[in-house]
Structure 1
Amino acid sequence: MISIKNNRVSINEVAKAAGVSKMTVSRVLRDEGGFSEKTRAKVMAQVDLLGYLPNRLATVFAGDTRSTFVGVAIPELGNEVFGLVLEGIDRKLGAFSHQTVLGMTQHALDQEERWIERVLSWQPAGLILTGRSHSQKSQSMLRSAGIPIVEIWDLNTSPIDMCVGLNHYDSGYDMGRYLLSKGFRKFGYVGTSHITANAASARMDGFTKAVNDTGGEVTKHLCLHDVPGFYPGYYGTEQLLASTPSVEAVFYQNDNMAVGGLEYCRIRGMKTPDDIAIAGWGDLPILSVQPYRMTTVRIPHLKLGQTAAEVLMDALQGNAIADVHDIGYLLVPGSTT
């Protein structure tokens, strides 16, 4: 059996090599003062020579310094929307010398609850959570944590602490009104389903309300048990049109599904928007390499993440900030409608 040796250098080894006490090394690393420049240079030389890495987490637990960890929970990494938001968060936190501790909840309240319980035991500086739905136990833990909490993605006018997001219902409603203004009256929706309430459901509800309010009809809501990607959009469109061929326009949960649906229609010889209109959501990167402009709703993903991190850092620094931050959205008409 191969034995794996832990070669991590200890603070005691640094102190011995520098000829000083462990306490002196600790004070030098924390830049607390009480030592000469010669001592500091001697200690840091041994730190560099030995490759010593301070145990920041242990230091936080010992109460010697303020935590630089920020817990960030997203539903999944497979959905590039959350990857873009996470990039914005991580960039901004890094600029403030804070580190992201990532958790994935898979849209499950119990998984989020377990993650919150675990990450709070690490004494983070703050938490950033995706969505507004949390279990009762999670809400209780969050309210008593005594650290900044930022809920992102869904705009919540009554957040646990602070919120950065957009109104998904309104974005769906605006898309419905826009498609109706183009003369379409019979609609379909293709998306995915989750056990818990989510932003995609709010968009679908807003879209349906707009259509119903203006004399149109959503003849089919197709919510697949799958991830919102290209292939589900492709076969979801096939199922939708097979069951309701009278559909004139389809609204998709996101742009990736819409691109899949558009490809199915292209293979079937259907032209957009003459034979069928297609609209997506999110203004995802895939649209930048398509030979057409997809009708979509543009979301500033990076800005959302960066704003969440900025709000959290402002709270940590004691600055006066608003509880709710609406980053907005923009409906972008294209040639597919």
Structure 2
Amino acid sequence: MKTRSDRKRRVSLGEIAEAAGVSKMTVSRVLRGSGGFSEETRLKVMREVKRVGYVPNRLAAAFGTETASTLVGVCVPRLSSPFFGQLLESVDRSFGRLGYQTMIGSHNMSPGDEEIWLRGLLSWRPAGVLLSSRQHSKSTLELLGDAAIPIVEFWDLNTSPLDLSVGFNQFDSGHEMGRFAISRGRSRPALLGAIGDRPGRTKGPERFDGFSEAMRSSGVPIITVELLKDLPGFYAGYYGTETLLQRDKRIDTIYCQDDTMAIGALAYCERCGIRVPEDIGIAGWGGHEAASILSRRLTTTAVPTHQIGKLSAEHLVGRLRGEPVDDIAVVPTRLIPGNTI
């Protein structure tokens, strides 16, 4: 990715007008879809718009000026996610303190949805953008390259970021839990996750890879895996645990994709008289608030959502102000031993 100074310069309305041989007002009318011009003129203007990759500036249209933007776009997988809800609160509060406003969207782990959101955002000429995904479409990369604005990829750590990265390593998080399970004498582990309507739409499998590698390196293979075509949640954890234990009664540990599924697993075990951790161990991920009120402390991994949000905002604004900022900021997760393994 090019540096900010190397990225393509933004094209003005006047340059489009000059190239098309018409007035700025005519270009403006064409882009607004109003009347007062011929079809030939419209085609000439749109040909130039397409050639230079021009994105209309809605901010200037609304306020009649090209003043510096204080708008920052933030895109996350799901607005309903408890993890990203906390993170967005931190991001919004941090940007507000620094004199910026946020425009929030979601991409549902789809590069295509992210691209659509980004196209809409760029028409408002944002000062910068925060993206929670590391997987981007070719068109998204081109849009970002042309935009000449700071980019922070947050949540999943990217060691080769487009611009800046703030987050943690999913694989390492799972690997740490695997080593912990081994230290507790667990030898017949299973994995329980939910991948939505197609694989790759969650980050659970990356954590599972880390957990599995820790187990394999100690001579303990994963004996079974259940990846539900559902969103992670309490009920998914409940019936997923039922499915696993009906399939293989040798299981002595279930590593769940997140805490909501782990809480569902605990509920199933309690209903069936399965003792935790004596008969089976349960581990989650995320540090969900609901886990703090259980009768026994859940073994899980706490994610510093507020710190990730705060650092992401501060690093982007630091870049805007020309201050020295680390390209990569690692915010480590923390394993909570609990007493469910």
The TM-score, its normalising length taken from structure 1, stands at 0.81
- Pick the aligned partner of 1:210 from 214, 218, 230: 214
Identity of aligned residues (%): 41
Which has the larger Rg?
A: 1
1:67 CA displacement:
0.6
Tell me which residue corresponds to 1:140: 142
- Pick the aligned partner of 1:327 from 315, 331, 334: 331
Cα-to-partner distance string for 1:14-47 (whole Å, 9 max, x where unaligned) = xxxxxxxxxxxxxxxxxxxxxxxxxxxxxxxxxx
How far apart, in 2, do the equivalents of 1:289 and 1:266 lie?
16
Tell me which residue corresponds to 2:278: 274
Counterparts of residues 1-337 of structure 1 (less than 5 Å): 57-58=59-60, 62-193=64-195, 194-196=198-200, 198-337=202-341
Check conservation: 1:133, 1:197, Cα contact below 8 A: no
Check conservation: 2:109, 2:133, Cα contact below 8 A: no
Q: Report the residue type matching 1:249 in the other structure.
A: T
Instruction: Pick closer, same or farther for the CA change 1:81–1:317 going to 2, 3 Å.
Output: same
Cα-to-partner distance string for 1:40-73 (whole Å, 9 max, x where unaligned) = xxxxxxxxxxxxxxxx934787444211111100
Structure 2 unmatched runs, 5+: 1-57
Instruction: Pick closer, same or farther for the CA change 1:263–1:167 going to 2, 3 Å.
Output: same
How far apart, in 2, do the equivalents of 1:229 and 1:309 lie?
29
How far apart, in 2, do the equivalents of 1:59 and 1:96 lie?
25
Number of aligned residue pairs: give it: 282
Worse overlay, 89-98 or 188-197: 188-197
How far apart, in 2, do the equivalents of 1:140 and 1:127 lie?
14
Check conservation: 1:255, 1:283, Cα contact below 8 A: yes
Instruction: Pick closer, same or farther for the CA change 1:253–1:140 going to 2, 3 Å.
Output: same
Matched residue SS, 2:147: coil
Q: Report the residue type matching 2:330 in the other structure.
A: D
Matched residue SS, 1:144: helix
Check conservation: 1:107, 1:195, Cα contact below 8 A: no
Check conservation: 1:186, 1:246, Cα contact below 8 A: yes
Matched residue SS, 2:250: coil
Worse overlay, 290-299 or 261-270: 290-299
Check conservation: 2:59, 2:123, Cα contact below 8 A: no
1:287 CA displacement:
1.4
How far apart, in 2, do the equivalents of 1:199 and 1:323 lie?
23
1:162 CA displacement:
0.4
The TM-score, its normalising length taken from structure 2, stands at 0.80
Check conservation: 2:301, 2:334, Cα contact below 8 A: yes
Instruction: Pick closer, same or farther for the CA change 1:198–1:143 going to 2, 3 Å.
Output: farther
Matched residue SS, 1:156: coil
CA RMSD across the alignment: 1.5
1:198 CA displacement:
4.5
How far apart, in 2, do the equivalents of 1:74 and 1:267 lie?
36
Tell me which residue corresponds to 1:30: none
Tell me which residue corresponds to 2:13: none
1:227 CA displacement:
1.2
Check conservation: 1:59, 1:65, Cα contact below 8 A: no
